[in-house]
Amino acid sequence: MTIKASLTGAFLAAVLSTTALNAAFAADDTIKVGILHSLSGTMAISETTLKDAMLMLIDEQNKKGGLLGKKLEAVVVDPASDWPLFAEKARELVSVDKVSAVFGCWTSVSRKSVLPVFEELNSILFYPVQYEGEESQRNVFYTGAAPNQQAIPAVDYLMANESVERWVLAGTDYVYPRTTNKILEAYLISKGVKPEDIMINYTPFGHSDWQTIVSDIKKFGSAGKKTAVVSTINGDANVPFYKELANQGVKAEDIPVVAFSVGEEELAGLDTGPLVGHLAAWNYFQSVDTPANAEFIKTWKAYTKNDKRVTNDPMEAHYIGFNMWLKAVEKAGTTDTDAVLDAMIGVSVPNLSGGYSTMMPNHHITKPVLIGEIQGDGQFETVWETPGLVVGDEWSDYLPDSKDLISDWRAPMSCGNFNVATGKCGGKGS
């Protein structure tokens, strides 16, 4: 009995070590890319698509011959919408699987939980989602929008084109909406909006009973001044919110809602007929009419074998980030972290809206800002766009804590929070 057990044990050990060896051999002729997106739990709704998009991009690159003469190999892990698990899985990707770069995270809290891991193990993370700013880390590249690439242009649009004078800032109660609304409030007041013309409202995650809030918005909007809602309401809560808006008859012509977290994916679960004209601000819409985008959509639909799959802004962010990484690795001639970090700054690649995006020294990228109106078919129609590209501003100029901070990761400064008032590196977020 004991002999048999130990024999089995030895056999198992032998099998295990051979597979480990195989893996080690395989690692030599491939470059590994980590994908850190939740495939289960609450965030799976948004993040699964990004995993698919990354797999497609890697697949396409391999068809073109890979990178540095090697094939790319995707390593997918599932952090299951569990923030501490994000850090664990990130560590696993970098130290066990030896990936050269990681593409992942969605929520700010998941990003914050993996930051120390990437710093400690000196690896690279590409973060594809619009976020609240107030951060710039050496090992992270932010390919989503900073507040000045999404929120502020949207407010400018409403002020100029819809002559909005009263503002409802509605958001889910967590860090992204709270910081964004703080920036927006400061911005609006700097533009001469009176504090009594701003209503701020927070709701819990997954809030589903919007009756009181929608009727409050209607009441707030009946003060004789043009009113708009700026929504940082997160994912799941949007569907019941928009359903309530439609049912209570809040029309976009009277009180437009501009959203920062509602894209093509979120609208897929909605009948958009009654919502025509409500707005969203992004850096990319599926409806953007460029040859690059048409090609991307075609590849995506073919890859997912689903004619109804939509594309969205964070997918474009991964597209840009992935191509930038490829270019930087080619430029550096190696996947070594320090060399790639240096090579990344200044890299410029085509985006899907017909221009070029460049990685800036603050690890944020340049993007156009598009304002789109919801259409009956669940797509957006661009009604306005910034004349040129907007540089991501990591430290908001409208917050007293951060207005003196800048970030520049080029030598000799190499600092994520340089205080121009004191002339020292360090300050908030250090």
Partner 1 sequence: MYRILQILFVALCLLISAHVVGSRAADDLGVLVDQLGAAKLSDMDDRIAALAKTGDAKVIPVLEALGEGELYQRKSDGKVFLVKAGGADLQLVDPVTGADAGATPKAAMQKVKVNNAVRRAVRSALGGLTLFSEDTGARLKAAQSMLQTPNADALEAIETAIAAEKDGSVRKVLVEARAVTLLVSDRPDDQKRQAIALLAEGNGRNGLAVLTSALATADVSLKPDIEAAIARIEQTQAFWSAGQNVWYGLSLGSVLLLAAIGLAITFGVMGIINMAHGEMVMLGAYTTFLVQEVVRNSYPELFDWSLAIALPLAFLVTGAVGLAIERGVIRFLYGRPLETLLATWGISLILQQSVRSIFGPTNREVGNPSWMSGAFDLGGLTITWNRLWIIVFALAVFAALLFLLKRTSMGLKMRAVTQNRRMASSMGIRTPWVDALTFALGSGIAGMAGVALSQIDNVSPNLGQGYIIDSFMVVVFGGVGNLWGTLVGAFSLGILNKFLEPYAGAVLGKILVLVLIILFIQKKPRGLFALKGRAVEA
**Strand 198-203 vs strand 71-77: parallel, antiparallel, or unpaired?**
unpaired
In the structure encoding, which two tokens stand for residue 412, read together? 């000799």
Decide: 395 and 403 in contact? Cβ < 8 Å.
Answer: yes
To partner 1, the closest distance from the beta carbon of 170 in angstroms equals 10
Q: Is 197 in the site for partner 1 (CB under 8 A)?
A: no
Given the complex with partner 1, which of 254 and 336 has the nearer CB atom? 254
Single out the segment in contact with partner 1 by CB under 8 A; choices: 17-25, 93-101, 116-124, 371-379: 371-379
Site for partner 1 in 206-265 (CB under 8 A): 206-209, 211-213, 215-216, 218-219, 221-225, 236, 239-240, 243-244, 246-249, 252-254, 256, 265
Measure the CA–CA gap between 387 and 108, rounded to whole angstroms.
Answer: 29
Q: Is 73 in the site for partner 1 (CB under 8 A)?
A: no
φ, ψ of residue 403 to 5 degrees: the values are: -70, -20
The residues pairing with 370 across neighbouring beta strands, listed in sequence order, are 282, 385
Name the nearest CA neighbour of 142 among 172, 120, 118.
Answer: 118
Given the complex with partner 1, which of 8 and 208 has the nearer CB atom? 208
Measure the CA–CA gap between 110 and 115, rounded to whole angstroms.
Answer: 9
List, as one string, the DSSP characters of 239-272.
HHHHHHHHHTT--TTTS-EEESS--HHHHTTS--
To partner 1, the closest distance from the beta carbon of 216 in angstroms equals 7
Measure the CA–CA gap between 226 and 109, rounded to whole angstroms.
Answer: 35
Encoded one letter per residue, x for contact with partner 1 by CB under 8 A and - for no contact, window 132-161 reads -----------------------------x
Measure the CA–CA gap between 390 and 356, rounded to whole angstroms.
Answer: 11
DSSP 148: G
In this chain, which of 276, 339, 345, 425 binds partner 1, going by CB under 8 A? 276
Measure the CA–CA gap between 34 and 78, rounded to whole angstroms.
Answer: 11
To partner 1, the closest distance from the beta carbon of 423 in angstroms equals 41
Number of helices (H), then strands (E), belonging to the chain: the values are 12, 19
Q: How many positions of this chain bind partner 1 (CB under 8 A)? A: 57
Given the complex with partner 1, which of 318 and 363 has the nearer CB atom? 318
In this chain, which of 373, 393, 394, 408 binds partner 1, going by CB under 8 A? 373
Site for partner 1 in 12-71 (CB under 8 A): 39-40, 42, 44-45, 48-49
φ, ψ of residue 263 to 5 degrees: the values are: -120, -165
Site for partner 1 in 374-413 (CB under 8 A): 375-376, 381, 383
User: Which residues contact partner 1 by CB under 8 A?
Assistant: 39-40, 42, 44-45, 48-49, 161-162, 173, 201-204, 206-209, 211-213, 215-216, 218-219, 221-225, 236, 239-240, 243-244, 246-249, 252-254, 256, 265-266, 268-271, 274, 276-277, 373, 375-376, 381, 383
